[in-house]
Amino acid sequence: MDNLRIEGTKQTPEIDFDANTGILKLSGRSIPENTFEFFNPVLNWLDEFSAQAPDKVIAKINLEYFNTSSSKYILEILKRLKTVLKDDKDVLVEWYYEEDDEEMMETGEDYEDVSGLPFEIISIEEE
Amino acid sequence: MAKQSIYQNEIENLEQSKDFLKKSEYSKIELQMEFKKLVENYEELIDQVKIITKISDRLQRKLNKTNDALESSNIQLNDLNNQLNETIDQLTEAKIGRRAGTIVMIIVISLFIVSEVFIEPIIDDAFPDNFWVGLGLKLVVAILIKPGEDFTNKYMLKQARKKQLAESKAKEAAQPPKPKKRRAF
């Protein structure tokens, strides 16, 4: 299975999903004009990945800001990771936020509650 | 249309339920199953709406906070800019004042030399017994030093401000806004 790599822009996040290592990185800003167009290939890749995921999967999410429709797609990504967890695989979501970004920290906690996935909320220092 | 929506799955579920309603006959079990599915989908949709609304409101708050911080930074930046401009103006005035003083001094020395070498002999010839004429001429030159210095000062300051304005406009036009860099994992 091929890895999924999408360069980040001012409006779209950087995606670096490695099917072999099981490390899925999502970072940056997500305010695409057409969220469906951006996230649909990501969800399709995850559907394929769920069926052949390695024993350990780590999703590293480090978002600065995202719009409402992106929040729905993040939920969809987490739903797909839940199917991996149900297959008795080890899944961990590392949710990164900048140390003074209270909103992003709370958002991570909400996603943790709703997804039922194991989360690690990690504070990072601002540059 | 449904295939292009972020609510693709939810729309598909709804369509399935609508198709079920079109059936002319259905058993009690079928009806129960369909209703159960519909309730489950509805419950999931409500959960999604709740979480998305909560997150959306929170991120709006973050956006507002960022806007407020940006506005406050702009005000601070403007204040600092004004202070800087005032200091630059003072420095320019002092520099120009010194330069104007030097120019006026050179002119006065030149006038003194010209008057001593060329005009004084002519005056001495024309008014041999009246030394007041020569002295009066020197007095006029001395009186004109201060207004001459002020005029030169004002003129040079005006020119310097024009130059500064043109330079700052050119700088503003050349600088694009810098995007914020995000820290890596």
CATH of the domain at A74: 3.30.750
Q: Could A107 and B55 be called an inter-chain contact, meaning their C-beta atoms sit closer than 8 Å?
A: yes
**DSSP of B28-68, one letter per residue?**
HHHHHHHHHHHHHHHHHHHHHHHHHHHHHHHHHHHHHHHHH
Q: Could B51 and A98 be called an inter-chain contact, meaning their C-beta atoms sit closer than 8 Å?
A: no
> Is B181 inside any structural domain?
no
Chain B residues touching residue A124 (CB < 8 angstroms): 183
H or E element at residue A17: strand A14-17
Best A114, A125, A126 member to test B by mutation, with max B CBs in 10 Å, is: A114
Q: How far is A110 from chain B (nearest CA, A)?
A: 7
> Is B176 inside any structural domain?
no
- For A52-80, b/e burial (b = at least 16 CB within 10 A) is ebeeebbbbbbbbbbbbbbbbbbbbbbbb
Domain housing B29: 2-170
Q: Is B38 exposed, middle or buried (0-12, 13-18, 19+ CB in 10 A)?
A: middle
Q: Are A93 and A112 in contact (CB under 8 A)?
A: yes
Cα within 13 Å of Cα(B125), Cβ side? 5
CA B117 to chain centre: 58
Average per-residue pLDDT for chain A: 94
Domain housing A59: 4-124
What pLDDT score does B116 carry? 82
Type of residue numbered A2:
D
Q: Which two tokens stand for residue B22?
A: 């079109």
| B136-149 average pLDDT score | 84
The alpha-helical segments, DSSP class H, found in chain B are 8-22, 28-114, 120-126, 131-174
Least confident of B43-52, B99-108, B120-129: B120-129
| B60-79 average pLDDT score | 94
> Is B178 inside any structural domain?
no
Type of residue numbered A11:
Q
| A72-77 average pLDDT score | 94
Q: Could B62 and A124 be called an inter-chain contact, meaning their C-beta atoms sit closer than 8 Å?
A: no
CA A68 to chain centre: 15
> Is B80 inside any structural domain?
yes
What pLDDT score does A77 carry? 96
| A20-43 average pLDDT score | 95
> Is B147 inside any structural domain?
yes
Chain B residues touching residue A67 (CB < 8 angstroms): 59
CA end-to-end distance (rounded Å), chain B: 38
B28-114 and B131-174 helices, crossing angle to 10°: 160
Say which residue the tokens 């009186």 belong to.
B143
Percent of the residues in chain A that have a pLDDT greater than 70, as a whole number = 99
ipTM for the predicted complex comes to 0.82
Cα within 13 Å of Cα(A19), Cβ side? 14
What pLDDT score does B15 carry? 93
Q: Could A107 and B5 be called an inter-chain contact, meaning their C-beta atoms sit closer than 8 Å?
A: no
> Is B143 inside any structural domain?
yes
> Which residue in the set A62, A69, A107 is minimally distant from B6, CB to CB?
A69
> Is B185 inside any structural domain?
no
Distance, CA of A71 to CA of A29 (rounded, Å)? 12
Sign of the dihedral through C-alpha A50, A52, A57, A60: negative
- Identify the closest residue of chain A to B9 by CA–CA distance: A76
Phi, psi angles (nearest 5°) of residue A88: 65, 30
Number of domains in chain B: 1
Nearest to B107 by CA among B146, B78, B74: B146
Number of domains in chain A: 1
- Identify the closest residue of chain A to B53 by CA–CA distance: A68
Q: How far is B36 from chain A (nearest CA, A)?
A: 21
- A66 or B164, greater pLDDT: A66
What does the radius of gyration of chain A's CA atoms come to, in whole angstroms? Answer: 14
pLDDT band of B87, cuts 50, 70, 90: very high
> Is B132 inside any structural domain?
yes
